[in-house]
Amino acid sequence: MPKIAYLRLPNRMDTSRFIANRMGRISSAQGVMAHISATAVGVSVAVMIVTLAVVFGFRREMTTLVSRMAAEVTITDLRSLRTGGNAPIGDTATLRAIVSEAVAGEGADVSIAAYAVRSGVARSDRAATGVLLKGLESHDEAARFGDCLTTGALPRFEANRRKEILLPESGAKALGAKAGDKVELLFMEADGTLRRDVFKVCGVYASGLDDGRTAVALTDIRNVRKINGWNDATISGYEVRTADFDSADSVAEAVNEALAGRYEGDENLVAVSARMLYADVLNWLGTHDVNAAVVVTIMFVVALFNMITALLILILEQTRMIGILKAMGMHNGELRRIFTQRAARIVLRGTVWGSVAGIGLALVQRYTHAIGLDAASYGVSAVPIELGAWWIVALDVVFVTAILLLSAVATTLVARIRPAEAIRYE
């Protein structure tokens, strides 16, 4: 008796995958549509990556500029904040201990440094401009301005006090001064008389947050104490620098609670975060977040629209095939799986190429600074870029998942196709 050869059919998942693979090869129109859809997905992903990289880049640069100029948390007399004056406070071991313990309770990696300030006028042979003379406690504090030093050098902190100042670009331009020049500083005393002092400009720095009105000149804290007539235990306040800018608000709150509960001095001390001192800058960053959200949403809608359009065209073009498969007993779920797998291949291909293109464009901008900016308006000379593997992967996963889930809705059209009518469809 002759043996009967049976046709071994693949399981349901293999059948759906096999048909999905063959669909693009059978119809050239489907291949063209798949390329168009993959391109739309790729462009959307690339635009989203570049947009978020720019937003995160601006956030990094602005927080760096803010923390450099004001530290994450500033502790000073409340009257100094309200009136812009210079109410002195005592620099005591007790006060430092209260602040240190409060900060340590937040688990923040911090440094605490004293500072002193005095408002006045800087004058040269050419012009005069307002100046806020800020005295720093050590070279480590001044070293934070090393990255933005344009000419000259940082002030020196030596055993013998040196009368050197580091001017911002706006102040240097207004005075027509450069490194090595001498400028005269004028300060109004309480009795209405003028105090004059001469300082040497050791260097010029670009802060990125200079408003062009009051120049913040940096010097040794001993110079400011001498001008103010203070002793070595008197300061304007403390600057608390944390490793995490986002923790500034919680650290300031912890310090305020500790001061209210434990400090017994006569000063009205308050801790304020850089977010409060530079609220205008950080609110400007918030507008970038809104713009980024709008761009990402538009790109997602564009990609979704293209994918749904592509799926509908694929389904309608294969109406006769769907009718035949239904007549042979294939269920709607299996038929929908065919087109879902086809969509998954298109989305994944577009996402991979879009990610490569987006990261490539971002890297080109990071290392070549091809797109420049007005540093006086934006605080940076080129569009900043910040890339991170975690958010790129998260963006791709969320994007692909959302597109496939919503595109699967379009495959419900398969259930509406009737075999008898579809088989006659041409």
Residue 16 pLDDT: 57
| For the chain, percent of residues with pLDDT exceeding 90 | 19
Residue 156: CB partners within 8 Å, gap ≥ 6? 139, 162, 164, 202, 220
Residue 328 pLDDT: 67
Residue 419 pLDDT: 60
Q: How far apart are CA 185 and CA 153, in angstroms?
A: 20
Residue corresponding to tokens 């001061």: 259
Q: How far apart are CA 379 and CA 206, in angstroms?
A: 9
Per residue in 230-265, pLDDT tens? 998 999 999 888 877 878 888 888 889 888 888 877
Residue 9 pLDDT: 45
Is the distance from CB of 357 to CB of 364 less than 8 angstroms?
no
| Segment 17-44 mean pLDDT | 68
Residue 226 pLDDT: 92
| Segment 44-57 mean pLDDT | 91
| Range scoring the smallest mean pLDDT among 80-84, 141-145, 371-375 | 80-84
- 130: phi then psi, degrees, rounded to nearest 5: -70, 145
Residue 251 pLDDT: 86
Split at pLDDT 50, 70, 90, the class of 356 is: very high
Is the distance from CB of 133 to CB of 274 less than 8 angstroms?
no
Residue closest to 219 by CA, chosen among 133, 144, 140: 133
- 237: phi then psi, degrees, rounded to nearest 5: 165, -170
Residue 167: CB partners within 8 Å, gap ≥ 6? 122, 175, 177, 183, 201, 203, 204, 205, 215, 217
Residue 18 pLDDT: 59
| For the chain, percent of residues with pLDDT exceeding 70 | 80
Split at pLDDT 50, 70, 90, the class of 296 is: confident
Q: Quick check: 24 pLDDT over 60?
A: no
| More confident call, 350 vs 210 | 350
Residue 404 pLDDT: 83
Q: Token digits for 404? A: 């496939």
Q: Quick check: 10 pLDDT over 80?
A: no
Q: How far apart are CA 156 and CA 224, in angstroms?
A: 15
- Tell me the pLDDT of the chain averaged across its residues: 80
Q: Quick check: 73 pLDDT over 60?
A: yes
| Segment 51-56 mean pLDDT | 91
Q: Quick check: 15 pLDDT over 70?
A: no
| More confident call, 307 vs 233 | 233
Q: Token digits for 267? A: 């000063």
Q: Quick check: 203 pLDDT over 70?
A: yes
